[in-house]
Structure 1
Amino acid sequence: MAKENNVLFVIFGGSGDLAHRKLYPGLFQLYLKGSLDQHFAVIGTARRPWTHDYFRQGIVSQLSKGTDEQKAAFVSHFYYQSHDVKDSEHYVALKKIIDQLDEKYQLNGNRIFYMAMAPDLFGTIAQHLKSENLLSDRGYDRLIIEKPFGHDYPSAHALNQAIIETFDPDQVFRIDHYLGKEMIQNIPYLRFGNPFLSAIWNNKFIDNIQITLAESLGVEERAGYYETAGALRDMVQNHIMQIIAMLTFPKPEHYTDREINQSKAQVFASLPVYSEAEVAEKFVRGQYGAGSDQQQLAYRDEDKTDPQSNVETFVAGEIDLDLPDWQGVPFYVRTGKRLATKNTRIDVVFKAEEHPLFTEQTPTSPVLTIEVEPESGVLLQINGKKIGTSNFIESHQLSDLLDDDQQELVPDAYERLLLEAVLGKQGNFAQWEGMAGSWHFVDAIRAAWAKEFQPEFPNYESGSMGPKAATDLLAKTGRHWLYQG
């Protein structure tokens, strides 16, 4: 069993979908494994007039593993407080229950405040936590916030300033759940734990890197959010940028959170700010139409979308880093809704070997593939001799995919990140320096797109792998997307 942690969670937005689908099941897994046991408590807040019992019943309905007795014992630590985040008097009532639970469960003043609600309220909540004295005077205070962290650089900067007026930077944990995924966390271990990879993990040997975050579903109930965000803000500015940082950050002298984040900051500082001409050359956007069978709605026909909407549901692009080890290596990224399959993967394409030994044919490019989901593991495509008497070369694949038993051992991203926040580990959380760099990059693309009169939407069928322009993006350099869906 893991070591128990004494801690209070205060979840603003405790009645919401995120809390019920991700946070409470994640906390329950920590409870089953012993990281939370007798000395923890959770306060869920929202405007709804719920009772403690009603709140607890809703939580139990979301828990799939464990016995009835374990579930009952777990939710007995949960309390509900009806709360208006703009009303100072409500914080007085919240402080009272916080103090009571701190004493009841011997929490040592350790408090984590989780903002699972609209970002425009983050500053208001942080200000009231300070003015109404809800912060601990003897334990630790930590703040966890969810994306979106603004909608452009100025709004993100204003949000950050509002938060750090109450919390020090090392107390703020910005969740990007992709950083909690098993194979994303595995990237530095692959890079730095294998000398044969460390030696060739640079522009001398790598031709290009491809990152695909494909989703088979449409916008579903998130249409209202997507109308203001789009795929560029929703997926590229955060998830894809964090993956690129994991793939490229310079090797730190020590593998500590501080040094890792300092190395990642170098990556974000190296992001270009493309001109309008460069955006037109290097980035593609798309919006899904109906499927060929007409069984799926076009984006513009989804509930809560504008019938003339120009919001992108697909983005593909080339990102060039100004880092010594990565100059000349294009990072091809793509993400989209209503694509052929749901798949997240990274393909590291090495340069093909040209040698007089191979006179009859040129070897293909070796490829290291990191499968993130739905499968998890690593594939290595290498060259070898074709069986028989010929001198022909053929590709061979070395595979290390997690089996079902291993997959059962993989913690959910939220379970992992919640524990890391409890332990005060910042290495797998987004930092402000990185967010600032990625917003400057994304804002330039958005500004260029805003000057286009009318994109030709929809421009890809539901069930495809995106618009033809995404294929052309690589084809004009003689390359192609390795993953075809």
Structure 2
Amino acid sequence: MQRNPVSKLLLFGATGDLSQRMLLPSLYALHADKLLPDGLTITGSARSDYDDAGFRDFAKQALDKFLPDDRKDESAVGSFLERLQFQPCDLSDSNSFQPLADKIGDISGGLAIYLSTAPSLFESAVEGLEKVGLTAGTVRIALEKPLGYDLASSIEINDTVARVFPEDRIFRIDHYLGKETVQNILALRFGNSFFEPVWNSSGIDNVQITIGETVGLEDRAGYYEGAGALRDMVANHMLQLVALIAMEPPARYDGTAIRDEKAKVFRSLRKITPDKVAQDTVTGQYEEGAVGGKVVKGYDEELGKDSDTETFVAIKAHVDNWRWQGVPFYLRTGKRMAKRRSEIAIQFKPVPHSMFSGRGGILQPNMLIIRLQPEEYIQMLVMAKEPGLDREGVKLREVPLTLNIDAAFAGSRRRIAYERLMLDLIDGDQTLFVRRDEVEAQWQWIDAIREGWTANGTKPKHYPAGSWGPSAAIALTERDGVTWQDD
């Protein structure tokens, strides 16, 4: 990858929760490991009325709170804070931008802008930046999700940004793509010869992707009530995982080749029509239940009003191309689930003939499990013979072959997703960012599902908090003879 680092970084929303938890700690970690360009300045901006010293105090408190103890280094924190400065800016006020431009100064060495704010402010932000010359030349911009509510709003946002920034200077963020284990999907598939011959409909029976959260609304009630599980998780994280599993081998590891292949997957997703939506999708909403041994409220009670917003969705999807014809992709995500878990389970087809049949050997099809969180590992379930003299027949048992990422790379520092994404933004590498045609193809598929729900008058089925969702989600797979991977 050819690096083209900038000399200045502008963070909008610099006093928000994302900045405190992820952005500032990530930038500090890169600084402490001497990965940031020498002389890079970081300008924070928000409506907050900080000066430089006040913002540095704010940033230090965030680092004290959110950095792991083993990453805290007084000298490194001090030199990192010297990079920081602050300029208040109200994105809805065009007069706010000139003082910001004056604060940033000369951008001939390159500027990257990180826009972590409500999409409703994107247009005024872009217009204000353009007016004061902060979009000229090679300036690049990163957009934090959500990028739209549906296809129409996504197109509107993309058109607004594209009016000023060409596609090669737009970095759309899906933080899942920065996760180490997600990138390991590419290494697993395209760095090992033994998977490719069976990575298709001849060798794979089904693919299951689960993203389960044990939390409820927390502080996201306003956003979540308008979004629901389908827009919040399926429209970005889950479909990106589908693309990485289903994509054809790219010619090379770069932003164009990889994103070309992902876009082909999204265009190949079979549209779920209104007459199929009832059998291929399940929606749910959590009621009162127990999570982690504690009684928790139901969604309506947390929200404070009755709602038909789904907090759970399960989908049977298909990728209609040569490689994946006939292979179902089962997607499942929800809040207040039994466990916090993000994983991909790839169920291979059974052996065509069992020589152990009738001798006590019960064969299970092989399964590959890629766990993304809370642990990170890759596990292959294989059949092995139990020790013994076999006087009553050979006994086989399923055993795991596990690659524990932490253990295997114990000498390497683990990076959170935003460290990689921030560094790639600074360097100008778009590989792990989402291209416009990907976003819009995803929304086309999502919108068709929502239209089907509306046409059918679909209402979410209730499920108790602390479970794996409505019983209909079990039926979604079991009528195909498939069981969700819940171990």
TM-score using structure 1 length = 0.93
For residues 345 and 313 of structure 1, the distance between their equivalents in structure 2, rounded to whole angstroms, comes to 19
- Tell me what 2:92 maps to: 86
- The counterpart of 1:455, out of the listed 459, 462, 470, is 459
Q: Does 1:75 align with 2:54?
A: no
Could you say which residue in structure 2 is the equivalent of 1:363? 363
User: How far did residue 340 of structure 1 move?
Assistant: 1.0
Equivalent residues of 2:9, 2:426 under 8 A apart = no
The one-letter amino acid paired with 2:54 is Y
TM-aligned CA deviation for residue 74 of structure 1: 0.7
Partners in 1 of 2:145 and 2:447 — Cα distance?
17
1:174 is matched with 172
Amino acid at match of 1:205: G
CA contact under 8 A between 1:271 and 1:437: conserved in structure 2? no
Q: Give the superposition deviation at 1:93.
A: 1.1
**Partner SS, residue 93 of structure 1:** helix
Other-structure match for 2:247: 249
Alpha-carbon distance, 1:294 to partner:
7.5
Paired position in structure 2 for 1:236: 234
Equivalent of residue 479 in structure 1, options 478, 482, 487 = 482
Q: CA offset at residue 69 of structure 1?
A: 2.2
Shift of 1:174: 0.6
Q: Secondary structure at the match of 2:382?
A: strand
Q: Which shows bigger deviation, 45-54 or 431-440?
A: 45-54
1:356 and 1:274 map into 2 onto residues whose CA distance is 37
Aligned partner of 1:434 in structure 2 is 438
Q: Is the 8 A contact 1:282 1:318 kept in 2?
A: yes
Tell me which amino acid in the other structure corresponds to 2:176. Answer: Y
Please state if 1:393 is matched with 2:396: yes
**Inter-partner Cα distance in structure 2 for 1:341 and 1:170:** 39
Which residue among 466, 470, 476 is the counterpart of 1:467?
470
Kept in 2, the 8 Å contact 1:30–1:36? The answer is yes
Q: Aligned partners of 1:456 and 1:238: how far apart in 2?
A: 21
Superposed CA offset, 1:330-351 (max 9, x none) = 0001011011111111111000
Q: 1:443 aligns with which of 441, 444, 447?
A: 447
Contact 2:6–2:427 (8 Å) recurs in 1: no
**Percent identical residues:** 35
1:385, distance to aligned residue in structure 2 (A): 2.1
Asked if 1:423 corresponds to 2:416, the answer is no
Cα distance in 2 for partners of 1:424, 1:399 equals: 35
What RMSD in Å do the two structures reach over aligned CA positions?
Answer: 1.9
Deviation at 1:176, TM superposition (A): 0.3
| Contact 1:110–1:136 (CA under 8 A) maintained in structure 2 | no
3-state DSSP class of the match of 2:53? helix
Q: What residue identity is the alignment partner of 1:96?
A: D
Q: Provide the rounded CA distance (Å) in 2 between the counterparts of 1:391 and 1:170.
A: 60
**Superposed CA offset, 1:252-286 (max 9, x none):** 22222211111111101111221112111110011
| Alpha-carbon distance between aligned partners in 1 of 2:221 and 2:440, rounded to the nearest angstrom | 26
- C-alpha contact 1:153 1:443 (8 A) present in aligned 2: yes
Contact 2:135–2:165 (8 Å) recurs in 1: no
TM-score, length of structure 2 as denominator length: 0.93
Tell whether the 8 Å contact from 1:340 to 1:464 is kept in structure 2 after alignment.
yes
Secondary structure at the counterpart of residue 276 of structure 2: helix
- Counterpart-to-counterpart distance in 2, 1:340 and 1:269: 33
Equivalent runs, 1:56-455 vs 2, <5 Å: 56-63=56-63, 64=67, 65-99=71-105, 102=106, 108-137=108-137, 140-292=138-290, 295-302=295-302, 305=303, 307-355=305-353, 357-360=355-358, 361-388=361-388, 389=390, 390-403=393-406, 406=410, 409-453=413-457, 455=459
Secondary structure at 2:283 match in 1: strand
Deviations 1:53-76 (A, max 9, x none): 221111111212232222121112
State the one-letter code of the partner of 1:87.
Answer: D
List per-residue Cα deviations over 1:436-473 (Å, max 9, x = no partner). Answer: 1110111111112223446255x111111111111110
Residues of 2 paired with 1:207 and 1:46: CA distance? 50
Structure 1 outlier segments of 4+, above 6 Å: none
Structure 1: distance between partners of 2:412 and 2:17: 24
Residue equivalent to 1:12 = 12
Deviation at 1:127, TM superposition (A): 2.1
CA contact (8 A) 2:135 2:164 kept: no
Structure 1 unaligned regions, length at least 5: none
Distance 1:269 1:130, change over 3 A: same
Q: 1 CA distance for matches of 2:374 and 2:412?
A: 13
What is the letter of the counterpart of residue 234 of structure 1? Answer: D
Q: Is this contact kept in 1: 2:337–2:467, CA < 8 A?
A: yes
Q: Is the 8 A contact 1:4 1:36 kept in 2?
A: no
Matched AA of 2:445: F
* 8 A Cα contact 1:200 1:206, kept in partner: yes
Conserved in 2, the CA contact under 8 Å of 1:11 and 1:114?
Answer: yes
Q: Counterpart of 1:310 in 2: which secondary structure?
A: coil
**Greater length-normalized contact order (CA 8 Å, ≥ 6 residues apart):** 2
- Local SS of the residue matching 1:220: coil
What is the one-letter code of the residue matched to 1:336? Answer: G
The residue matched to 1:245 in structure 2 has which SS? helix
Contact 1:215–1:342 under 8 Å retained in 2: yes
Q: What is the alpha-carbon distance in structure 2 between the residues aligned to residue 454 and residue 258 of structure 1?
A: 39
CA contact (8 A) 1:4 1:34 kept: no
Once structures 1 and 2 are overlaid, which stretch shifts more, 354-363 or 68-77? 354-363
Alignment-mate amino acid for residue 285 of structure 2: Q
Offset at 1:121? 1.2
- Matches of 1:456 and 1:149 in 2, distance apart? 25
- Segments of structure 2 that go 5 or more residues without pairing to the other structure are none
Instruction: Determine helix, strand or coil for the equivalent of 1:262.
Output: helix
Q: What code does the residue aligned with 1:46 have?
A: A
User: Are the aligned partners of 1:370 and 1:379 in contact in 2 as well (CA < 8 Å)?
Assistant: yes
1:14 partner letter: A
Q: What's the secondary structure of 2:380's corresponding residue?
A: strand
Q: Distance in 1 between matches of 2:448 and 2:304?
A: 24
Amino acid at match of 1:301: E
* CA displacement at 1:213 relative to structure 2: 0.5
One-letter amino acid of the structure 2 residue matched with residue 451 of structure 1: A
Query: Matches of 1:157 and 1:356 in 2, distance apart?
Result: 53
Q: Is the 8 A contact 2:181 2:376 kept in 1?
A: yes
Distance 1:271 1:4 in 2: 35
- Distance in 2, matches of 1:348 and 1:233, equals 24
- Whether the aligned pair in 2 keeps the contact of 1:288 and 1:299 (CA below 8 Å) is yes
